[in-house]
Amino acid sequence: MNTVTLASDPEDAAAVEAVEAHHTHLAGELAGRVSVLLDTAARNPAGAEAARASLAAFCERELLPHAAAEEKALYPAAHGTKEARLLVDGMLAEHRRLAGLVAAVRSAPTAVHAAAEGRALQVLFEEHLEKENNLVLPLIAGSTEVSLAELLAGMHELLGGHEHGEDGEETGGGCGGHCTCGETEEEADPELDVREVPHAIRHATVFGALGAVPAGRAMVLVAPHDPKPLLAQIEDRNPGVFSVEYLERGPEAWRLRLSHR
């Protein structure tokens, strides 16, 4: 997602940056939720239903509307060019596949199966975003016949601005409030190790993972440094919702338990 896009004017350049930033946010949030589902499905499949529900709800609230907005605003402009017609047809087919994987996360017979579908969804979505950033956006932004900024005017699903924690939605879990479905007294907290997560999506990955933590439960975060700026962002997004307990303070890793009050 680091390709430099040459736009026909400053407004289009700003629009490209906004879309790519929103793509980064979506990819990170999705990765965080998938990570929590994978971890809980492996540790205690019976207790992973909240993570499954959170992942599916996020996709239905953010990813699928994003895809629909692309089909409405972006793809018709690109499809009108001869060189991009087959590309856009392929992107539309991937949208159908993404929707099918979201449905599969919901309907999978077990949490383990749902986690596998979620991981497939994550891989496909990240590949899809790479094509949009590196192929579709440059094609439209570089055209003198189409204004990307005008195409995207008011399209919050493409530009962001109503992300999780900013639109009044309650943080944490897919079951609503304190969920104890399938949990046991010995159930371990899910762990998210972000040391290998690309820096560009690291914070969004944590936000996504926290979105899958129900009230009354916790997540262990493993970071390569003391994540004070991240903790400030978490508090800013969700004031008073998460308490923080340091379990380990370096030098190789910082481990923190983030508890959803």
Alpha carbon 194 to chain centroid distance? 14
Which of the four pLDDT bands, split at 50, 70 and 90, describes residue 184?
very low
Is the Cβ–Cβ distance between 137 and 148 less than 8 Å?
yes
Q: For the chain, which domains are there?
A: 10-159 (1.20.120), 191-260 (3.30.110.40)
Mapping DSSP to helix (H, G, I), strand (E, B) and coil, where does residue 164 land? coil
| Separation CA 220–CA 187 (nearest Å) | 13
pLDDT tens per residue across span 188-216: 788 999 998 988 899 999 999 998 888 89
Using pLDDT thresholds of 50, 70 and 90, give the confidence band for residue 177. very low
**pLDDT > 70 fraction of the chain, expressed in percent and rounded:** 85
Instruction: Give the pLDDT score at 143.
Output: 75
- 77 pLDDT higher than 90: no
The DSSP symbol for 9 reads: S
pLDDT tier for residue 138 given thresholds of 50, 70 and 90? confident
pLDDT digits (tens, 9 = 90+) for 81-128: 777 889 999 999 999 999 999 999 999 999 999 999 999 999 999 999
Round the average pLDDT of the chain to a whole number and report it.
84
Provide the β-strand partners of residue 244. 258
pLDDT digits (tens, 9 = 90+) for 217-230: 899 999 999 999 99
Q: Is the pLDDT of residue 160 over 80?
A: no
Residue 142 pLDDT class (50, 70, 90 cuts) = confident
Interacting residues of 126 by C-beta distance below 8 A, sequence separation 6+: 27
pTM of the model: 0.80
pLDDT score, position 85: 87
